[in-house]
Amino acid sequence: MSYQRVLLKLSGEALMGELGYGIDPKVVSEIAQEIADVVNSGVQIAVVVGGGNIFRGVKASAAGMDRATADYIGMIATVMNAMTLQDALERIGIPTRVQSAIAMQELAEPYIRRRAIRHLEKGRVVVFGAGSGNPFFTTDTTAALRAAEIDAEVIFKATKVDGIYDADPKINPHARRYQSLTYGHVLNHELKVMDSTAIALCKENNIPILVFDLTVGGNIIRAVKGEPVGTIVGGFCEVS
C-alpha cells in the first residue's frame, strides 16, 4: 500500500543525532533530504516535531517546576526545532510552512486547519510547532490530533529502532519484532509506542501508526511506498 498524505512524527532527540544536547545541523539536513524525496515523489507530508533535545517539560516538573509552565517552555522548544527543519528544507528548494499552536506571528503562521490542508495540496511541507498549545499533552498526542484533522492516511513514528518488540532487544537477544499490532494490544500491554491518549485517538479515527528506524537512509520514502519497514499498529498481531 502506498500513501498520498502522511504525518511524520519526529522526536526532538532525532535532531540532535549523537550530540548530548541541541541540534546537529548535519542530521537535520539528512532528515530534510529524506522529506524532500517524499515531496518530490508527489506525496503530501506534514511533520510534528518534539522538543526533548532542548527541554523536557515532564522532567522539569518532576524536579519541582510547575507542570503547566514546564510544558509551555517545552512547546517553545518545539517551535525552535520546527524553524530549524524549515530552514533545512527551504535550503534544498522545498517550500515549507511552520504553523504554531501558540501565537508567534513574527515567526510562524497560526495553526489553521484549512490553511494547513491547502499548503499540503500545493505541495508544501507543513511543520506543526508548539504541540497542541495545551499543557499536559504530549507531542505524540498532537501528532494523532493533527493527523485526524488533516485527514492523514498514516502516522510515521520515526525512532531509533526498527519497530516494536515483545521485549527490549538491547537486553533480550531473543526478542521478536512485531510486523503488525492492534491498538488494543498496545494499550493493554502498555507498549512504549506513543502515549495512551495518542493511541486511543488513533484507534477512534482509524489512523494506523508505522514505527520504523529513522537512522536507516531511505526508510521514509520506503514507508511511503508501502514497503515492509518497521511495525504497523492498527492491523492484527503478528510477529516476525
Annotated binding site: 9-12, 51-52, 56, 71, 132-139, 159, 165, 168
Residue 118 CB coordination number (10 Å)? 13
Question: In angstroms, what CA-CA distances link 177 with 215, 216, 218?
Answer: 17, 17, 20
**Helix 25-40 with 67-91: angle, nearest 10 deg:** 70
Annotated binding site for ATP, which residues?
9-12, 52, 56, 159, 165, 168
Largest CA distance in the chain: 52
- Vertex 187: Cα angle to 198 and 141 (nearest 5): 10
DSSP per-residue string spanning 26-75? HHHHHHHHHHHHHHHTT-EEEEEE--TTT--HHHHHHTTS-HHHHHHHHH
Count each helix (H run) and each strand (E run) in the chain, helices first: 8, 10
Write out the binding residues for UMP.
51, 71, 132-139
